[in-house]
Amino acid sequence: MPLSVPQQLLRTMKLTTLFLVALYLHLGATGFGQKVTISGKNLPLEKVFTMIKKQTGYVFFYDYNIFQETKPVTLNLKEADIEDAMRVCLWGQDLDFNITNKTISVVKKERRINLISADPEKTIKASGTIFNESGQPLSAATVTVKETKRGTLTNVKGQFEISAVPVNAVLTITCIGYASRQVKVNSEELIVVYLPIAVNELDKAVVQAYGTTSQRLATGNIAKVTASEIERQPVMNPLIALQGKVAGLDVNQTSGFASAPIKVELRGRKSIGIDPSHTFPSDPLYIIDGVPLTVLEVGGSSSYDDGSTGFIQNQNGFNGPASGQSPFFSINPADIESIEVLKDADATSIYGSRGANGVILITTKKGKIGKTKFSLHTQQGVSKVSRFVNLLNTQQYIEMRREAFENNGINPNAKNAYDLLSWDTLRYTNWQKMLYGKTGKTVDLQGDISGGDAHTTFRVGVDYNKTQNIQTVSGSDQRASISVNLTNHSTNQKFTISFSSAFSFAQSNMVYQPGNITLAPNAPGIYDSVGKLNFAGWGGSNNNINGRKTFPFGTLEQQYIAKTNFLNSSLSFSYQPIKGLNLTASFGYNNAQANQQNYIPISSQDPIFNPTGKLNLGFNSNKNWIIEPQLTYERWLSKGKLSILLGNTLQYNSTDGLYVNGDGYTNDALIKTITNAPVQYNTDSYGQYKYAGVFSRLNYNWSNKYIINLSARRDGSSKFGVDRQFGNFASIGAAWILSEETWFKSLSFITFAKLRGSYGSTGSDAVGDYQYLTRWSSSGTIPYNGISQLVPIQHANPNFQWQSNKQIEAAVDLDFFKDIVHLSVAYYRNRIGNQLISFPIPAYTGFSSVTANSPALVQNEGWEFTTRFKIIESKNFKWALNFNTAFNNNKLVDYPNFSLSPFVGQLIIGKPLNIRRLLHYTGVDSQSGEYAFYDKDHDGQITYDYTGTKPDDSYIYNLNPKFFGGLGTDFNYKSLSISLYFAFKKQIGRNSVYQGDIPGKLKNQPVDVLARWQKPGDISSIARFTTAAATSDNNYKTISDGSYTDASYIRLSNVSLSYTLPPYYLNKIGLQGLSLFIHVNNIFVLTKYKGVDPETQNFGGLPPTKTVVGGIAMSF
């Protein structure tokens, strides 16, 4: 029997109200408690909205047409919650609302279209549309019927339709990155559901290879670092912000300059190459918005220990004071939305031959739907050295030197003791303060505009950042950047185009800082009385050439400037011709141009040598382009969602460097241009890299309970000789979400439990280019007998192949008390075989290494723990804790014919790669005052060599960290928030006392040496002072366990304090947001380590600095 129209309407309203209440209940839990006070009669709705906006700072989002049919309202609200206020306003109106992130969207209620069957036994057809809160339709959202397990996916317009749904069945709607919803269906009317963006960690979107997933659904190991964590760190290089944040990821800055290369290593050392110069950098594959940031190593000075020299790739070692330049110095950390670190085979094997060292995905910020928003962010700060070593003062130093001469029975003379005889013995300079005592300043200005509607979103960000360093002659690092992101969906939502591009200009002004803090404290000044470099003062009274102490400060007037332009762009088109099928074509391009200049004027060199000026120029360029057509198909199959990805990659890279040297300038005024150089010398380097692959992934998610993920890739790389270029890689990952099982539901305190595991292979082609070719070059030579030279430059090896990495991982993810406690534990075992290294071979063959596969099998096995704990979660006060730590156990598992290998003296099968064979230090001989070592083989002498055949040096020390990680805690009280971040590491390292020279020589020493041995019978840990140390002291001291010590530490690495102005005040000043903040880096270190810093363990180098910045961020 047909119902009359008014009745239909009435029913609709009832149902919608029911539905809304369900929605409201949820919103109540997450919404903000802003108070609204409005009273008045027959107020137009539009006016009420304006009042609410003024009072709360909330923004309204609606189509003006909605007001056509609204009734004025009469209100009497006092301090009402915003949700309540909205509910009252819209009571009886044909409108619906929704609050997210201070945005209230108001839309029309959907009209009922179909009639409802009166018979509850009959099944009905459920249909509807799924939107996100911005009103954008969500495609590929899953709609399942709880009772029948049947399901479907939404189309591009967010629409779905399921037939044969029992009346009163519950529909579960899920979509990656959004909170899930359950809706009861008892009519065939159109269902409209708005999914809010997930706020619980489990369901937040996580970027994965060629797509997105969530922690709930991921089968692989993906760690995410968000924009808010990056923003807190006052650093110019976003990679540094990853320090301590991701379990198992070791990030180290290789020098104190902001532009310095960063060494990144995931899950332990993979390469057997023991000599750092024989091992290639351990960098993971970096991908920015889909574009790999590949830099070839054509400059020839990258190494395992110091990482890649990055954008500086000219030959001749002209790498600047920072020994290279990190590519990420050109990237504005504030442009980054998230950084995902892909760790296991499941997550990385789709990158095939490039994934063995892990993959780091960088995703930039995109515009969001809503009113156009302007944000400004400015911060300023200072940095200073946090810790100095306590060194001898002049009086103590002179005492040490005189005692040393006395001990050796040597008379000090002008030749061996100019510090005592020629230099002023009363003068005192604290060289540490002199060299590193300056206060560095940093300035950072950020601005962005973003916004958009359902079709187009945009974001434009600009940035200027300048960091001055703390050295004697202060240089600075600067960067200015602009980034643009645009996304457009066609009206029918089938066609999407997105474009992102960032351009930056970076400039580093530096000097090669003479890093020697152990200069004699009475050494003459850097400058003479007229402010010129003090060459004469350092020469001593007789001022002769060869006896002259080298003046260490000439470099202070040798300016180094590096200017870098960097462009990274990506463009992708995607089209959905039929439901579930997506065709995407991505194009990416990046280009870096780094130009270096280094002036060595005559004035910076000792005039007695009649020097001439020099000019060094470096031109480096790096280009990448990539094309990746992809096809994805998603559909509902049986009781689950099937996703298929097919695609291929074509990548091209070229890296080149040109080094130009001008020499023989006789006038400093001419030095700025190469044209004036009487002698010129050039070398260039060039490398090309091509990479092509086909990849596929198949993912099946059965009722959000069982998930299986298969990926495979075949790819080829130009780094290998013909016939060795192609390789196949594959992985399998699976997850079982136990908490979805009915038997599990009794454990109600565990809200989520997942077991996952993966196994697969990845490869590494991280070697130099053209290693398979015989090569002859004229580079760096001049003609002999009038004939130009051709010099062989490498051993060729046409036979080397991929390094293969077989990874297995098992993990459990648990969530207790609804997002209050989260715990992930992962166990992994990576076995790296067919090691691709620069294989050490005897130098008598012509070269001391050849690129080859080593038969070594290296294993990294470990545990990673990541946990989050929301200790207090109340309206005004929140306290959360997060913690991660990783234990990695590295060992050489196998090496066929090990006794004939070049590693036999340095490595031991079954032990870690990073071991040292050391003598055992037994203290200072109380009779002679010399260092003494244990004579293990009792042959009356201490013997050692590096071949491992001598028994005295057989004490094995493992220098790998036992564990490391980070602990962060965040407090929020109303508008105030404080966060602290601690980083810790348990390890053995080299101590400072035994690292420098032997006390007594012409070098300053830590004050600890005053406790030295002085006469027979003295018991001391410090040897006698001596100027002519016994060779045994020189040699044995550094290779004994006496020079190793506990270098574990806990560092409060970051404290960040911010205050956000409440909306009430914001309204008064007409702003949407305003916050004030202070960030402090490297506050203190708890350690037993004696020396400047247990992390760098570098005696005499640039100590770590403490940085304090304060700033203001506003948006309107």
**Segment 994 to 1033, residues that bind other proteins, using CB under 8 A:** 1001, 1027-1028, 1031
Residues 770-829 that bind other proteins (CB under 8 A): 770, 773-793, 795-797
State yes or no: residue 535 binds other proteins (CB under 8 A).
Answer: no
**Closer CB to other proteins, 56 or 155, in the complex:** 155
**Closer CB to other proteins, 695 or 1099, in the complex:** 695
User: Which among 243, 248, 275 is positioned nearest to 262, based on CA atoms?
Assistant: 243
> Residue 695 is encoded by which pair of tokens?
């990849």
State yes or no: residue 1064 binds other proteins (CB under 8 A).
Answer: no
State yes or no: residue 946 binds other proteins (CB under 8 A).
Answer: yes
Q: What is the DSSP letter of 1024?
A: P
- Neighbour tally for 130: CB within 10 Å: 26
**Closer CB to other proteins, 58 or 691, in the complex:** 691
State yes or no: residue 664 binds other proteins (CB under 8 A).
Answer: yes
Side-chain half-sphere CA neighbours of 753 within 13 A: 15
State yes or no: residue 679 binds other proteins (CB under 8 A).
Answer: yes
State yes or no: residue 409 binds other proteins (CB under 8 A).
Answer: no
**Closer CB to other proteins, 628 or 1041, in the complex:** 628
- For the window 756-775, what string marks contact with other proteins as x by the rule CB under 8 A? -------------xx--xxx
Residues 611-640 that bind other proteins (CB under 8 A): 627, 629, 631
State yes or no: residue 1052 binds other proteins (CB under 8 A).
Answer: no
Strands 59-62 and 103-108: parallel
State yes or no: residue 663 binds other proteins (CB under 8 A).
Answer: yes
Residue 304 CA to residue 603 CA, distance in Å, equals 37
**Closer CB to other proteins, 691 or 994, in the complex:** 691
Applying CB under 8 A, the span of 6-14, 218-226, 842-850, 1091-1099 interacting with other proteins comes to 842-850
**Closer CB to other proteins, 4 or 610, in the complex:** 610
* Of the residues 67, 512, 726, 816, which one makes contact with other proteins according to CB under 8 A: 726
CB 1083 within 8 A of CB 1055: yes
Applying CB under 8 A, the span of 265-273, 558-566, 598-606, 834-842 interacting with other proteins comes to 834-842
Q: Cβ of residue 274: shortest distance to other proteins, in angstroms?
A: 9
**Closer CB to other proteins, 552 or 1110, in the complex:** 552
CB 110 within 8 A of CB 93: no
Strands 222-226 and 336-342: antiparallel
Residue 1116 CA to residue 1099 CA, distance in Å, equals 49
Q: Cβ of residue 778: shortest distance to other proteins, in angstroms?
A: 7
CB 377 within 8 A of CB 1113: yes
Number of residues located near other proteins, criterion CB under 8 A: 100
State yes or no: residue 1084 binds other proteins (CB under 8 A).
Answer: no
State yes or no: residue 529 binds other proteins (CB under 8 A).
Answer: no
State yes or no: residue 1103 binds other proteins (CB under 8 A).
Answer: no
State yes or no: residue 493 binds other proteins (CB under 8 A).
Answer: no
State yes or no: residue 846 binds other proteins (CB under 8 A).
Answer: yes
**Closer CB to other proteins, 481 or 683, in the complex:** 683
> Residue 419 is encoded by which pair of tokens?
């510090």
Residue 634 CA to residue 132 CA, distance in Å, equals 20
- For the window 543-582, what string marks contact with other proteins as x by the rule CB under 8 A? -xxxx---------------------------x-x-----
Residues 113-172 that bind other proteins (CB under 8 A): none
**Closer CB to other proteins, 373 or 714, in the complex:** 714
> Residue 244 is encoded by which pair of tokens?
């301590």
Side-chain half-sphere CA neighbours of 774 within 13 A: 4
Dihedral in degrees, nearest 10, Cα atoms 775, 781, 784, 788? 50
> Residue 920 is encoded by which pair of tokens?
């055992």
* Of the residues 29, 530, 669, 843, which one makes contact with other proteins according to CB under 8 A: 843
Residue 832 CA to residue 990 CA, distance in Å, equals 28
Residues 452-481 that bind other proteins (CB under 8 A): none
Residue 245 CA to residue 60 CA, distance in Å, equals 37
**Closer CB to other proteins, 273 or 461, in the complex:** 273
Residue carrying the six token digits 């303060």: 433
Please give the C-alpha separations between residue 522 and each of 398, 525, 1101, in angstroms, as whole numbers: 9, 9, 20
- Neighbour tally for 115: CB within 10 Å: 14
**Closer CB to other proteins, 493 or 688, in the complex:** 688
DSSP string for 654-680: EEEEEEEEEEEES-GGGTT-GGG-SEE
**Closer CB to other proteins, 243 or 294, in the complex:** 294
* Of the residues 540, 693, 763, 968, which one makes contact with other proteins according to CB under 8 A: 693
State yes or no: residue 439 binds other proteins (CB under 8 A).
Answer: no
Q: Cβ of residue 624: shortest distance to other proteins, in angstroms?
A: 14
State yes or no: residue 678 binds other proteins (CB under 8 A).
Answer: yes
* Of the residues 194, 280, 566, 689, which one makes contact with other proteins according to CB under 8 A: 689
User: Which among 1076, 1112, 1075, 1073 is positioned nearest to 373, based on CA atoms?
Assistant: 1073
Applying CB under 8 A, the span of 330-338, 710-718, 754-762, 875-883 interacting with other proteins comes to 710-718
Q: What would the 3-class secondary structure string for 232-295 be?
A: CCCCCCCCHHHCCCCCCEEEEECCCCCCCCEEEEECCCCCCCCCHHHCCCCCCEEEECCEECCC
State yes or no: residue 742 binds other proteins (CB under 8 A).
Answer: no
What are residue 1052's DSSP bridge partners? 982, 1084
* Of the residues 313, 504, 717, 1045, which one makes contact with other proteins according to CB under 8 A: 717
* Of the residues 716, 965, 966, 1103, which one makes contact with other proteins according to CB under 8 A: 716
* Of the residues 603, 1035, 1038, 1067, which one makes contact with other proteins according to CB under 8 A: 1035
Q: Where are the beta strands (DSSP E) in 366-494?
A: 370-385, 440-452, 456-468, 476-489
Side-chain half-sphere CA neighbours of 31 within 13 A: 22
Residue carrying the six token digits 């916050």: 1075
